[in-house]
Amino acid sequence: MLIQRVITALVLLAILLPALFASNPMWFALLTLVMIAAAGWEWSRLNGRPGAAAIGFGAALAALCACTFYLVGFSVPAWCWWLAGGLWVLGGVRALAAGVAGWPKISPALRLALGAVLLWAAWLALIAARARGINFLLSAMCLVWMADIAAYFAGKAFGRRKLAPAISPGKSWEGAIGGLVGVIVLGVVWVHVIDVRVPVDSASLYSVLVRRIGVVSVLAVVFLSAMSVVGDLFESLVKRAAGAKDSSQLLPGHGGVLDRVDALLPVLPLALALTSL
């Protein structure tokens, strides 16, 4: 399994990195459009619409993203990020409160529509962040990765109280707090070391927040870290309701696309919303 995970990761990096660092951000947009179509296919399967219906849903989602990009390009109005962020804050928290048993009670059509909106907003936020700069995008993505990695090690060392045992038994409150601390440390390093001493192409998410809202940026970073946990738990809830361990097997050793991007889904639009203050 470990060898399989490593091989898959290396193949993904070999595909993603050239597109990410290409001078024309359109290459990154096109590649991630394929990924969002795959995520749509997984979402449909997890919500009672497998087979041809799932393929059609993924294709329709990609078409929606492409049409939106054709109309607005990389310049998406800030209110879109606030709308998507509000949906995550209110809807995500409510879904987690209702638990695994509450999710199937929502009509399949509404669940599909909700997934389409969330994935659509996440893709638009992804390409908008890339247009702002590679450093900006990587700093936002690393926030999510640091929250996950620090939470894992803090949970292993100190985890006692379960965060959401019915949804994700492995997560603990101690791990979540460790993730918050790790993200704050990462932000300090990025602002005072990477953005200052490394020849980056743009300001990072952390530096933009510091310039825009000052010391309140610490609370903004903590909030984004917390929302990454909400995104992770929300996808776990949907999988448990569907009786699935992974969103798919598209990425051998890693599960599916949704398994890899779940925590990014709320963070990217919310990061852009906060930097628009």
pLDDT digit string, tens, across residues 211-227:
999 999 999 999 999 99
Task: Return the pLDDT at 2.
Answer: 62
pLDDT above 90 covers a percentage of the chain that reads 82
Contacts of 40 (CB under 8 A, 6+ apart): 57, 58, 59, 60, 61, 62, 115, 116, 119
Alpha helices in 103-216 (DSSP H): 108-132, 134-158, 173-189, 195-197, 205-213
pLDDT per residue as tens digits for the range 53-80: 999 999 999 999 999 999 998 888 999 9
pLDDT band at 253 (very low <50, low <70, confident <90, very high): confident
Is 5 a residue whose pLDDT tops 80?
no
Model confidence pTM above 0.75? yes
- Identify which of 181, 261, 189 has the alpha carbon closest to the alpha carbon of residue 226: 181
Cα separation, 241 vs 149, in Å, equals 26
Find the farthest-apart pair of alpha carbons in the chain and give their distance in angstroms, rounded.
52
Coil, strand, or helix at residue 254? coil
Task: Return the pLDDT at 254.
Answer: 83
Per-residue burial over 96-133, b if 16 or more Cβ lie within 10 Å, else e, is beeebeebeeeeeeebbebbbbbbbbbbbbbbbbbbbb
Cβ–Cβ < 8 Å for 91, 231: no
Task: Return the pLDDT at 1.
Answer: 61
Q: What is the mean pLDDT of residues 183-206?
A: 96
